[in-house]
């Protein structure tokens, strides 16, 4: 059994504050008595009640997950804690003052009903307070897990949409080369096999190191270089210290594909594409910059297939902590920057 002692300390301090409030109320009702009397008994009874309930709940398997035992045990435990708190706490107080609350003394015996009533009410209220807090914490944990699973499922769905999109385009290009240049088609096929092997490995996880993403981009750009020849030039800039940064899989692929298909291919002389990673504090910045014909509305632009999916994947993974924006570029050309939390 693993016990979070900081949490236990927090619970005990809250219980102590509750006991101080009860003793203050008792003193206000009967100011003629010494404040030490209600203070000592309240602290002794409250501490024993808290210890029996808070440590006792770890004896039940259900409490390890929810923070509170289920069924009959959930009712018996607080009753046992309150009874033990009253008996042992009163005994501890008696030892402190050197008398017996159960003696034949009429004044001591007259206080028993009051003490029992206060102990019962305080025990029930305090138990309910801690129960609702544990329940709320348990529900928050479950909600966070559900959101995490939903995000992972959405990312996987987006990946299944992106990968066929890229594959179909590549196969169409390969089909053209088979009839016109079989040697280049063979080279392209070799790169395609390497690319698909890397993609298969990456599909088993939602995140991957930035180095893996850049390696796969290199395979893809080599595929495009075989088909476009000297019309395509590319540069990948990944600092060594960022190689292990974690990002969603297939994040940059749609942007690079857009840059080639909608920016460089329509340009007679072709152009270049730059993919670079930088870090600014706790933020990772990924730039995809091309010297193509520029953004065309509806075709690789703000409402294009690839960019739309990149936005959705970043939103699903990071919410408002990630951004997609167009960076100023010399015209013609397009630059897109992804800003997301740096994770390692």
What is the per-residue pLDDT for 312?
A: 80
316 domain residue, yes or no: yes
Supply the pTM of this predicted model: 0.52
What is the per-residue pLDDT for 199?
A: 66
Instruction: Indicate whether 193 and 248 sit together in one domain.
Output: yes
158 domain residue, yes or no: no
Domain CATH number, residue 226: 3.30.565.10
Instruction: Indicate whether 223 and 272 sit together in one domain.
Output: yes
What is the per-residue pLDDT for 227?
A: 72
Instruction: Indicate whether 138 and 225 sit together in one domain.
Output: no
What is the per-residue pLDDT for 299?
A: 47
What is the per-residue pLDDT for 175?
A: 79
Contact 273/222 with Cβ under 8 angstroms? no
Question: 225 is in which domain, residue-wise?
Answer: 181-341
The two structure tokens encoding residue 135: 């329940």
Instruction: Indicate whether 191 and 337 sit together in one domain.
Output: yes
The two structure tokens encoding residue 80: 């046992």
150 domain residue, yes or no: no
Instruction: Indicate whether 137 and 193 sit together in one domain.
Output: no
What is the per-residue pLDDT for 329?
A: 61
Instruction: Indicate whether 132 and 280 sit together in one domain.
Output: no
Task: Give the chain's domain count.
Answer: 2
Contact 332/284 with Cβ under 8 angstroms? no
105 domain residue, yes or no: yes
pLDDT tens profile 136-176: 877 787 777 776 666 566 555 555 554 565 667 677 777 77
- Domain end call among 144, 166, 191: 144
Residues in the chain, pLDDT under 70:
1, 62-66, 104-111, 147-167, 169, 199-204, 295-305, 329-331
Instruction: Indicate whether 222 and 113 sit together in one domain.
Output: no
What is the per-residue pLDDT for 101?
A: 78
- Domain end call among 99, 121, 144: 144
Instruction: Indicate whether 232 and 313 sit together in one domain.
Output: yes
- Judging by DSSP bridges, how do beta strands 232-237 and 283-290 pair with one another? unpaired
- In the numeric block, the tokens 């029996």 are attached to 52
| SS3 category, 235 | strand
130 domain residue, yes or no: yes
Instruction: Indicate whether 19 and 123 sit together in one domain.
Output: yes
Instruction: Indicate whether 34 and 115 sit together in one domain.
Output: yes
User: Who's near 324: CB < 8 A, 6+ residues apart?
Assistant: 307, 310, 311, 314, 336, 337, 338, 339
What is the per-residue pLDDT for 286?
A: 95
CA-closest candidate to residue 277, choices 249, 236, 318: 236
Instruction: Indicate whether 218 and 271 sit together in one domain.
Output: yes
pLDDT tens profile 260-291: 888 888 888 989 999 999 998 899 999 999 99
What is the per-residue pLDDT for 153?
A: 61
- Domain end call among 144, 165, 200: 144
118 domain residue, yes or no: yes
154 domain residue, yes or no: no
168 domain residue, yes or no: no
Instruction: Indicate whether 185 and 117 sit together in one domain.
Output: no
What is the per-residue pLDDT for 174?
A: 76
What is the per-residue pLDDT for 145?
A: 73
User: Who's near 300: CB < 8 A, 6+ residues apart?
Assistant: 258, 259, 261, 262, 263, 306, 307, 334
139-to-65, 68, 154, 198 alpha-carbon distances in Å: 11, 13, 22, 39
What is the per-residue pLDDT for 237?
A: 95
């Amino acid at each position: 059994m693993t016990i979070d002692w900081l949490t236990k300390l927090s619970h005990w301090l809250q219980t102590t504050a509750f006991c101080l409030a009860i003793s203050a109320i008792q003193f206000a009702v009967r100011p003629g008595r010494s404040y030490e009397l209600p203070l000592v008994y309240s602290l002794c009874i409250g501490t024993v009640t808290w210890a029996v309930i808070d440590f006792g709940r770890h004896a039940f398997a259900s409490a390890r997950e929810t923070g509170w035992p289920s069924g009959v045990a959930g009712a018996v435990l607080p009753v046992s804690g309150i009874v033990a708190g009253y008996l042992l706490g009163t005994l501890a107080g008696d030892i402190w003052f050197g008398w017996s609350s159960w003696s034949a003394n009429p004044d001591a015996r007259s206080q028993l009903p009051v003490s029992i009533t206060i102990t019962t009410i305080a025990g029930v209220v305090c138990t309910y307070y801690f129960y609702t807090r544990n329940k709320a914490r348990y529900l928050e944990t479950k909600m966070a897990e559900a959101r995490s699973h939903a995000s992972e499922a959405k990312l996987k769905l987006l990946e299944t949409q992106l990968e066929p999109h890229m594959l179909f385009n590549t196969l169409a290009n390969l089909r053209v080369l088979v009839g016109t240049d079989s040697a280049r088609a063979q080279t392209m096929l070799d790169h395609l096999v390497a690319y698909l092997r890397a993609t298969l490995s990456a599909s088993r996880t939602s995140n991957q190191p930035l180095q893996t993403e850049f390696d796969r981009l290199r395979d893809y750009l080599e595929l495009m270089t075989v088909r476009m020849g000297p019309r395509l030039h590319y540069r990948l800039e990944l600092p060594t210290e960022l190689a292990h940064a974690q990002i969603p899989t297939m994040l940059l692929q749609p942007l690079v594909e857009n840059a080639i298909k909608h920016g460089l291919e329509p340009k007679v002389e072709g152009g270049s594409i730059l993919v670079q990673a930088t870090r600014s504090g706790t933020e990772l910045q990924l730039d995809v910059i091309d010297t193509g014909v520029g953004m065309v509305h509806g075709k690789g632009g703000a409402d294009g297939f690839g960019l739309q999916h990149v936005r959705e994947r970043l939103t699903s993974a990071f919410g408002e902590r990630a951004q997609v924006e167009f960076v100023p570029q010399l015209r013609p050309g397009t630059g897109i920057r992804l800003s997301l939390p740096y994770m390692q």
